[in-house]
Structure 1
């Protein structure tokens, strides 16, 4: 490792920092965190860096957008202590998470596509509540599930029906029925309740399914950008591994 550190032009901390738009303190912090290999010291105790440190810094900064700062830090720490397999495992986990996010997005889009037009009265003009909406029994029957399932979804925060002031029965309005149908589709796709709840919340925040299309388009864009960032990070990490030897 010593020969690698000495190879190439010597760099002062300020040279390494300016080349990447950082402060010299940030460079020192990265070294102390194990993101950069240890610097050589002059006889007077000043840090000196080499092209290997620049390659490490480029790798770290390229890994952050795709993997996040914590994972990028852990990857560089593993590489710098010679635990390459650990670094590769961390990278693989990030790719697996990205794939999972893509599958979730596809499941949401499939669920939205498969949703039948929601009617407050149900398919057969089933029993409805006074101000418009469905009671739990007819809604459960329409979806082919048990009322207990709908009550479990309510406890999980997937749906929030109001209560009829006279009977105390749950009343599902049009938005509630939409959320129940979406939850039903996602459950059929194998998603857990804790995975579905934030997706239902996004539908509510968007104001319905149609406004959600813009959010889904943005979601596609973020995943694509993350995928490209991972490719860029992999290229710089490989360059650092080659420079390290």
Structure 2
């Protein structure tokens, strides 16, 4: 069957592009990038493709949602140069990353269960018996650099007060809660501009309920990636089978 597809009817770039919402130039770019096998040429120099190229294009586009454009490109490049084991290694790495992301989400949910009580304290007060702390100890507790905490402060994620005598930043229980939330959400891939409104909602609501929607969205995105990886695997297997 692989031989039939490779020597089957000729297709133009636009023939491959139709049905995928692509331009003919995008198809040519994919071929030049090694995502598609090299095209044949007519006596006048025009590219000609076959159903095997169409299968390769379908495999690539199916891989992108689960693995991302860069990894999907590397997978197809490896397959097309005959380095199938390299392609499998890249796929394994994506699955490992997805598993790590799931563990991160679980860690976030575990951290949220251990955070401050529903009523937010006034600035400067302790939370659950925890006293005030300074930037160095808090950074060490989170495993980050003090510079990161200062960047979070500039972004509005934490709001430490200043000691009137020393000028040092002082983080009360609410600040520690917000810093831990920011740390976990950053691990989950959230950008600072997305985290700031969530923490603002937590402060205003006096509790963590506003994060429930974000966690549901996070679960949904991970599940969608997992399903997309299954779809991509099926399309890639079909392409490998047709290549022979």
TM-score range, shorter chain: 0.7 to 0.9
Q: Distance in 1 between matches of 2:193 and 2:15?
A: 48
Q: In the alignment, does 2:177 pair up with 1:178?
A: yes
Deviations 1:84-110 (A, max 9, x none): 111111111111111111100011001
Q: Distance in 1 between matches of 2:219 and 2:131?
A: 33
Question: Quick check: 1:120–1:173 contact (8 Å CA) kept in 2?
Answer: no
Counterpart in 2 of 1:59? 59
The alignment's TM-score, normalised by the length of structure 2, stands at 0.77
Gaps of 5+ in 1: 122-130
Q: In the alignment, does 2:227 pair up with 1:239?
A: no
Deviations 1:150-175 (A, max 9, x none): 26458131755211335646443453
Counterpart in 2 of 1:12? 12
Question: Quick check: 1:62–1:236 contact (8 Å CA) kept in 2?
Answer: yes
Counterpart in 2 of 1:70? 70
RMSD between aligned alpha carbons? 3.5
Q: How many residues align?
A: 224
- SS in structure 2 opposite 1:240? helix
The alignment's TM-score, normalised by the length of structure 1, stands at 0.76
Question: Quick check: 1:161–1:176 contact (8 Å CA) kept in 2?
Answer: yes
Q: Distance in 2 between matches of 1:244 and 1:64?
A: 20
My pick for the range that moved more, 155-164 or 230-239, is: 155-164
Q: In the alignment, does 2:117 pair up with 1:150?
A: no
- SS in structure 2 opposite 1:210? coil
Counterpart in 2 of 1:91? 91
Q: In the alignment, does 2:139 pair up with 1:133?
A: no
- SS in structure 1 opposite 2:209? helix
